[in-house]
Amino acid sequence: MTKPNPMDEILKISSRLPTVVLEDINKRIGDWLAMGGQYTDPYIEQQLSFARRFVEESEQA
């Protein structure tokens, strides 16, 4: 079974994130990639976890 690409998962929920949050995630990922990181690194998965938590918490409010 193929592991989901964290970037694809972020894109799937991006419409449910406020612009400021999406811009922050985008900047962090861009900086990571500029320093030689990869799309599949745990750091990208960490950004996905943050995005998911944000969506879940904002939908519960």
Closest CA to 55 of 30, 23, 22: 22
Structural domain span for residue 26: 6-60
In a domain, 1, yes or no: no
Q: How many domains does the chain have?
A: 1
Tokens of 26: 């985008």
Place of tokens 């990869």: 38
Q: Flag residues of the chain having pLDDT under 70.
A: none
Q: How many CA atoms are closer than 13 Å to the CA of 32, on its beta-carbon side?
A: 18
41 falls within a domain: yes
Q: What pLDDT is recorded for position 15? A: 96
Q: Select from 59, 36, 46, 61 the least CA-distant residue to 9.
A: 46
Task: Classify 38 as helix, strand or coil.
Answer: coil
Does 14 map to a domain?
yes
Please give the model's pTM, rounded to 2 decimal places.
0.89
